[in-house]
Structure 1
Amino acid sequence: MVGAPVSDRLVASWQRSEDYGVSLESIEPSFTGTLNDESLFFECGREVLEGLHRTLINEPVSLMLTDADGLVLNRMSGDTSLLRALDAVHLAPGFAYAERTVGTNGLGLAIADRAPTVVRADEHYALSLCTYTCAAVPVLDPLSGHLEGCVNLTTWSSQSSDLLLALAQSAASNTSAMMLARSRGQKPRAAQRGEVFRVETPRLEPGAGSATDLGPAWSEVLARAGAAIRDERIVLAVGEEGSGRATLLAQALRQQFPRERILAASPPPTQDCEAWLGLWTPELGKPDTGILVRDVDLLPEWVAEHVRDLVVQARVRAHAGDHVPFAMTASRFDALPPALAPLVDTIVSVPPLRERSDDVIPLARLAARRARGREVTFTHAAESALRDCGWPGNARQLVEVVAQAARRSDTIDVRHLPADVLSGISRRLTRIETFERDEIVRVLTRPGISMKDAGDELGMSRATVYRKIAQYDINIPRTNT
């Protein structure tokens, strides 16, 4: 559209496409051919798109799912001429349409920036794509927040595209909702709020008040992070969500710079990115200020580029002898936006809580004390159950479980712990199975209960109770205060 304003996101994408060396004339997307068609995302997304396809069967629109790398997983359309044309540019299952390989396009930009995107006609980088308009919306896992892929709708550029993005957003939203409904009824991940904490010593800061007398696995990683920060390196802490990555970096920063304040920032919703950058970036490079950015693998590509530029500029401006403490967390290094990867000098891997059994009880005691404002005791059985749990949600899950238990009793016993802590089963349970398991745990954790009494209350024989215990991998340590 002649004279239409060009967004900063689009300009940034064009620049990246040029930097990647994408041809302006023709594209050659890589063919993988290996599709993950067994994931929950694919199962739910296909079901949603099949329903939408039935309503658009006579429209010149192609509906498709891609994974987080832009690999096209499926495609459906009632317009055979459109399908033949898309085959000619390889926008088909098995081909990767990431920005890096084909330049600016709807699904590639949606994945890069983790934001709903429409790319029309000559807004595409490659001329061979200028006859199409694409609307794409990323789909995030409702529990982890990780990018699963995107929903992409493509039509001819001559067609009206006013409703295309709305349809893609509806399909993406329905896919995420269906994923949540089929995920054992777990609570969705809290929406990103982009919190920014500016903290002055000696007030609470990220990592303040957290347990420091932990086991050797934590202490070793903490020492490595501290040494790197002391040597003016940029540290990236990787590991599972909730394992304590940000806490570890905050402790390392505090050990090396005890009088500095620590500013911690979490990724914001896409629409708030500019305001988020404006809040904390003026602090970068100020004397006596350390910066910690969490979950940088969730940042849109253009925001990651701004962060990179700001860090580089701050280090250049720093006076001789000055240090610009900057650290980041992510799930893993290869999930980083390309712009941030070159900044990383040192990577430290924070072990999950299941590999740090020595840390469970100190963390539990700290969580209970915070919840009640005073010391709370644990029975031997409760301590054993906490240590034996696999903690798929890591320290964050432990803190939530113990805090809830501490609000119910001065002495935490196994009967105050949720059933999933006492059950080692990892497969997804149905609602009926979950109810049955929880009832068995509720009865068996009652003080003084015998197996015969438990069977009578549950309406089962003792043999059935034992079989159900094995089926759900229930382990209830004997109560002993």
Structure 2
Amino acid sequence: MDDRRLAAIPQRLRASWLRSERYGVPEDEVRPVFTGTVDTSSLFYECGHEVLRGLHATLSNEPISLMITDSDGLVLTRLCTDPAIVRSLDRVYLAPGFYFAETNAGTNGLGLALADRTATLVRADEHYCTGLRGYTCAAVPVVDPVSGALAGSVNLTTWSEQSSELLLALAQAAAGTTAALMLARASGRKARPAPRGEVFRVYADRVQPPKLSTAWTSAVATAAEAMLEGRVVAVTGETGAGKTALATLARRSVRPRERLLNARPPAPDDVGSWLRLWTPELGKADTCVVVSDVDALPAWAASSLAPLLSGFVLTATEALPEALAPLVDVVVEAPALRLRPDDILPLAHYFAHRDRGRDITFTSAAVRALLSYEWPDNTRQLRQVVRAAAARSDVVDVQHLPAEVFTSVGHRLSRLQVLERDEIVRCLTEPGATIAQASAELGIGRATIYRKMAQYGIKADQLRG
């Protein structure tokens, strides 16, 4: 690789070039991986394809190819009516069914956008492979507005000699519209809060943590043993499973007087200032940092953390970043809440006491509902449910719990269905309520209520004491 040419390109692109070289991507040939199947059943594809069709109609006379990829860089669809650019893109395999992640296609717009999770423009000679240097590519990642997971990317590609000033703005607008459409069709669920990159000190809890199941305590003990031996630990697990709590408890058991910080990932554009904020703390005596959700960090940021790894503990929901995975000595999984049902009630009392400052009582019906629910968002969801319920009463009964706790539906509900389900549960959880009373209040027949209860998976035996 020409060092002078490498030094002339921006830092993010330079880091991507170095990664491409490390992956063994050839500079003189585009050789992306091909798959025979493309999944077009996702909500992201449905919304993204609809948005790009509208944009394509507007740009039909322009030599621009509009593409959607999944989170792994697999091209799902390509919209373009310019014969010359279509033939050219086919020659470099930038077509549906081919993976254009950095790992197999080197530095390119969509690959870098996915790696760094931020809007990216790669012009002409900034591409790693010579075969791609005839193009300018603008790509923007799309994050699922509900789950916060990386859904894929929107990519616009044109000839390198074309003006690129508006290309990235168009890609950003298309990605933003796609995310907004996904939220509108996501059953009325609230958007996940944007990452804020908080860095704060972890203090000992004023409420004594409850004694939990063997599955949890064994995981804490495994992490603590590895930390005691000076090994680098990563805690993995589902969203909301308590990964940071597990890492904190393990560290506290090893070094109870240590200054412990938690760094949560920021939005991609704020990563630079976020790193500058807390990395100087690593050099201070008796200080440890728990870096949460490192799988959400841009690739360049993960690479920046690698030389400092001995000073902190990691958590991740998905796979560890490529730059960090080889440096981790021990991976400990935080068990999902549904796999340790004995912890649900102790945690419910703990969360209620922590928020209200005193003991809160749960009726037998409320306990039955809490224990029967699968808690798809794990401990985080339990904490939110208990906090809201305890704020309403010192004795939590079924009418203080949200409708979701009494239902089990394996598909998305529309906004109207969510309202209908919640109203049925509200009527049925009122003290002394019967099907006949709920029928009269809602103005629908009893047979209809039974049918709706079956449709929404409402568990009648948990609705009353």
TM-score with structure 2 setting the length: 0.95
1:65 maps to 2:37: no
User: Cα deviations across residues 149-199 of structure 1 (Å, max 9, x unaligned)?
Assistant: 110000000100000000000011111111111111111111111111135
Which of 223, 226, 231 aligns to 1:225? It is 223
**Aligned match of 2:451:** 467
Counterparts of 2:464 and 2:435 in 1: how far apart (Å)?
A: 15
CA contact (8 A) 2:369 2:405 kept: yes
Counterparts of 2:184 and 2:75 in 1: how far apart (Å)?
A: 25
Distance 1:210 1:45, change over 3 A: farther
Counterparts of 1:93 and 1:461 in 2: how far apart (Å)?
A: 51
CA contact (8 A) 2:428 2:463 kept: no
1:215 to partner: Cα distance: 1.5
**Structure 1 counterpart of 2:376, which letter?**
P
Gaps of 5+ in 1: 316-323
Counterparts of 2:60 and 2:25 in 1: how far apart (Å)?
A: 34
1:458 to partner: Cα distance: 2.5
TM-score with structure 1 setting the length: 0.92
**Structure 1 counterpart of 2:406, which letter?**
L
Counterparts of 2:167 and 2:98 in 1: how far apart (Å)?
A: 23
Counterparts of 1:174 and 1:98 in 2: how far apart (Å)?
A: 23
Which of 10, 13, 17 aligns to 2:13? It is 10
1:238 to partner: Cα distance: 1.2
Counterparts of 1:282 and 1:432 in 2: how far apart (Å)?
A: 51
**Structure 2 counterpart of 1:13, which letter?**
S
**Aligned match of 2:411:** 427
**Aligned match of 2:308:** 310
CA contact (8 A) 1:380 1:479 kept: no
1:124 maps to 2:127: yes
**Aligned match of 2:236:** 238
**Aligned match of 2:334:** 350
Counterparts of 1:307 and 1:186 in 2: how far apart (Å)?
A: 35
Distance 1:3 1:463, change over 3 A: closer
1:4 to partner: Cα distance: 11
**Structure 1 counterpart of 2:348, which letter?**
A
Counterparts of 1:432 and 1:68 in 2: how far apart (Å)?
A: 31
1:391 maps to 2:375: yes
1:285 to partner: Cα distance: 4.5
Percent identity, aligned pairs only, is 55
User: Cα deviations across residues 35-83 of structure 1 (Å, max 9, x unaligned)?
Assistant: 1110111111101100100000000000000111111110011211100
1:139 maps to 2:142: yes
**Structure 2 counterpart of 1:53, which letter?**
H
1:450 maps to 2:453: no
User: Cα deviations across residues 119-160 of structure 1 (Å, max 9, x unaligned)?
Assistant: 001111111111100000011111121111110000000100
**Aligned match of 1:88:** 91
Distance 1:429 1:25, change over 3 A: same
Counterparts of 1:210 and 1:243 in 2: how far apart (Å)?
A: 19
Distance 1:3 1:9, change over 3 A: closer
1:33 to partner: Cα distance: 2.3
**Structure 1 counterpart of 2:170, which letter?**
L
1:464 to partner: Cα distance: 3.1
Distance 1:405 1:328, change over 3 A: same
**Structure 2 counterpart of 1:361, which letter?**
L
| Count of residue pairs the alignment pairs up | 460
CA contact (8 A) 1:33 1:93 kept: no
CA contact (8 A) 2:63 2:158 kept: yes
Q: Secondary structure at the match of 2:227?
A: helix
**Structure 2 counterpart of 1:222, which letter?**
V
1:357 to partner: Cα distance: 1.0
Runs of 4+ in 1 over 6 A off after TM superposition: none
**Aligned match of 2:38:** 35
CA contact (8 A) 1:113 1:301 kept: yes
Distance 1:308 1:4, change over 3 A: closer
Tell me whether 463-472 or 393-402 shows the greater mean CA deviation.
Answer: 463-472
Counterparts of 2:450 and 2:333 in 1: how far apart (Å)?
A: 40
CA RMSD of aligned residues (A): 1.8
1:56 maps to 2:59: yes
CA contact (8 A) 2:406 2:463 kept: no
**Aligned match of 2:317:** 331
1:413 maps to 2:413: no
Counterparts of 1:291 and 1:408 in 2: how far apart (Å)?
A: 36
